[in-house]
Structure 1
Amino acid sequence: MSEKRHPAPEHGRDGPGTSAGRGGRDASSAGWCPGPAGSPTVADVLALPVLAAGDPQVVTGRDHIDRPVRWVHITELTDPASFLKGGELVLTTGMPLPDDPTGVRRYVDELATVGAAALVIELVRRYHRPPDPLVDACRARGLPLVTLAEDVNFLEVTQVVHTLILGNQAEAVRRTQRVHEAFTTLTLRGAGPEDVLRAAAEMSGRTVVLESLVHRALVCEPSGSTAHAALTGWERRSRATPPADRTGVRGPEGWLVAPVEYRGEGWGRLVMLPGTPAAFGPEDVTVLERTAMALTIARLTHPASWERTAHRNALRDLVEQRHRSPADARARVAALGLPTEHTRFVAVLADVPAEEDTARTETRLAEELRTTGVPALVGLLAPTRLGVLLALHPSRPWRQSVERLSRTARDPAPDTTVSVGSPASDLADVARSFREAARVAEATEPGQPLPADRSFHERSDIGLRRLLFALRDDTRIQEYAERQLGRLLDHDARHGTDLLATLRGYLDAAGNKTAAARAGGLSRETVYQRLRTIERLLGRDLDSGEQRTELHVALQALDALRGR
Structure 2
Amino acid sequence: MNYNQPAGPGPPGRPLTVADVLALPVLSAGRPQVVTGSTRLDRPVRWVHITELTDPASFLKGGELVLTTGMPLPDEPAGVRRYVDELADIGAAALVIELVRRYHRPPEALVQACRTRGLPLVTLTEDVNFLEVTQVVHTLILGNQADAMRRTQRIHEAFTALTLRGAGPEDVLRAAAEMSGHTVVLENLVHQALICEPSGGTAETALTDWERRSRATPPADRTGRSGPEGWLVASVEYQGEGWGRVAMLPAPTGTSTSTASPVFGSEDVTVLERTAMALTIARLIHTTPWERTAHRNALRDLAEQRHRSPADARARVAALGLPTENACFIAVLADIPTAEDTAKTEARLPEELRTTGTKALVGRLAPTRLGILLALRPSQPWRPAVEQVSRAAHGVAPGATLCVGSPAPALADVARSFREAARVAEATGPGRPLPAERSFHERSDIGLRRLLFALRDDTRIQDYAERQLGRLIDHDTRHGTDLLSILRQYLDAAGNKTVAARASGLSRETVYQRLRTIERILDCDLESGEQRTELHVALSALDVLRAR
TM above 0.5, yes or no, is yes
State the partner residue of 2:199: 223
The C-alpha deviation readout for 1:47-103, integer Å capped at 9, x for no partner, is 111111111111111111101111001111010011111010111111111111111
Give the alignment partner of residue 209 of structure 1, picking from 185, 192, 199: 185
Residues 84 and 189 of structure 1: is their aligned pair in 2 closer, same or farther, counting only changes over 3 Å?
same
d(CA) in 2 for partners of 1:255 and 1:20?
Answer: 34
Contact 2:235 2:244 in 1 (8 A): yes
Contact 2:198 2:206 in 1 (8 A): yes
3-state DSSP class of the match of 1:411?
Answer: helix
TM normalised by structure 2 equals: 0.96
3-state DSSP class of the match of 2:95?
Answer: strand
Contact 2:434 2:441 in 1 (8 A): yes
Larger RCO (CA under 8 A, 6+ residues apart): 1
State the partner residue of 1:174: 150
State the partner residue of 1:330: 314
Matching of residues 341-420 of structure 1 within 5 Å? 341-420=325-404
Matching of residues 134-145 of structure 1 within 5 Å? 134-145=110-121
Residues 21 and 515 of structure 1: is their aligned pair in 2 closer, same or farther, counting only changes over 3 Å?
farther
Identity %: 81
Deviation at 1:399, TM superposition (A): 1.1
Give the alignment partner of residue 545 of structure 1, picking from 507, 515, 529: 529
d(CA) in 2 for partners of 1:246 and 1:328?
Answer: 31
Contact 1:378 1:388 in 2 (8 A): yes
State the partner residue of 1:33: none
What letter matches 2:290 in structure 1?
W
Contact 1:94 1:122 in 2 (8 A): yes
Whether 1:460 and 2:436 are equivalent positions in the alignment is: no
The C-alpha deviation readout for 1:157-208, integer Å capped at 9, x for no partner, is 1111111011111111111111111111111111111111001111111110
Contact 2:186 2:246 in 1 (8 A): yes
Whether 1:50 and 2:33 are equivalent positions in the alignment is: no
d(CA) in 1 for partners of 2:27 and 2:139?
Answer: 15
Contact 1:343 1:394 in 2 (8 A): yes
3-state DSSP class of the match of 1:407?
Answer: helix
Residues 23 and 297 of structure 1: is their aligned pair in 2 closer, same or farther, counting only changes over 3 Å?
farther
Deviation at 1:22, TM superposition (A): 5.2
State the partner residue of 2:168: 192
Matching of residues 115-126 of structure 1 within 5 Å? 115-126=91-102
What letter matches 1:234 in structure 2?
W
Whether 1:470 and 2:446 are equivalent positions in the alignment is: no
d(CA) in 2 for partners of 1:55 and 1:226?
Answer: 44
d(CA) in 2 for partners of 1:369 and 1:152?
Answer: 76
Contact 1:38 1:165 in 2 (8 A): no
The C-alpha deviation readout for 1:303-356, integer Å capped at 9, x for no partner, is 321111111111111111110000100010111111111101000110000111
Contact 2:6 2:24 in 1 (8 A): no
d(CA) in 1 for partners of 2:357 and 2:3?
Answer: 60
Whether 1:525 and 2:501 are equivalent positions in the alignment is: no
3-state DSSP class of the match of 1:76?
Answer: coil
Matching of residues 34-183 of structure 1 within 5 Å? 38-183=14-159
TM normalised by structure 1 equals: 0.93
Deviation at 1:19, TM superposition (A): 5.3
Deviation at 1:401, TM superposition (A): 1.3
Whether 1:485 and 2:469 are equivalent positions in the alignment is: yes
3-state DSSP class of the match of 1:184?
Answer: helix
Deviation at 1:38, TM superposition (A): 4.5
State the partner residue of 2:238: 262
Residues 21 and 299 of structure 1: is their aligned pair in 2 closer, same or farther, counting only changes over 3 Å?
farther
What letter matches 1:20 in structure 2?
Y
What letter matches 2:493 in structure 1?
A
d(CA) in 2 for partners of 1:367 and 1:277?
Answer: 42
Residues 279 and 20 of structure 1: is their aligned pair in 2 closer, same or farther, counting only changes over 3 Å?
farther
d(CA) in 1 for partners of 2:399 and 2:330?
Answer: 22
Contact 2:52 2:69 in 1 (8 A): yes
Give the alignment partner of residue 3 of structure 2, picking from 20, 25, 32: 20
State the partner residue of 1:30: none
Whether 1:436 and 2:420 are equivalent positions in the alignment is: yes
Give the alignment partner of residue 214 of structure 2, picking from 238, 250, 253: 238
Q: Moved runs in structure 1, 4+ residues, more than 3 A?
A: 18-24
d(CA) in 2 for partners of 1:313 and 1:358?
Answer: 17
Deviation at 1:489, TM superposition (A): 1.0
Whether 1:293 and 2:269 are equivalent positions in the alignment is: no
The C-alpha deviation readout for 1:2-56, integer Å capped at 9, x for no partner, is xxxxxxxxxxxxxxxx7535599xxxxxxxxxxx964201111111111111111
Query: Where does the alignment leave 5 or more consecutive residues of structure 1 unmatched?
Result: 1-17, 25-35
What letter matches 2:215 in structure 1?
R
State the partner residue of 2:434: 450
Query: Where does the alignment leave 5 or more consecutive residues of structure 2 unmatched?
Result: 252-259
Residues 296 and 21 of structure 1: is their aligned pair in 2 closer, same or farther, counting only changes over 3 Å?
farther
What letter matches 1:332 in structure 2?
R
Contact 2:4 2:31 in 1 (8 A): no
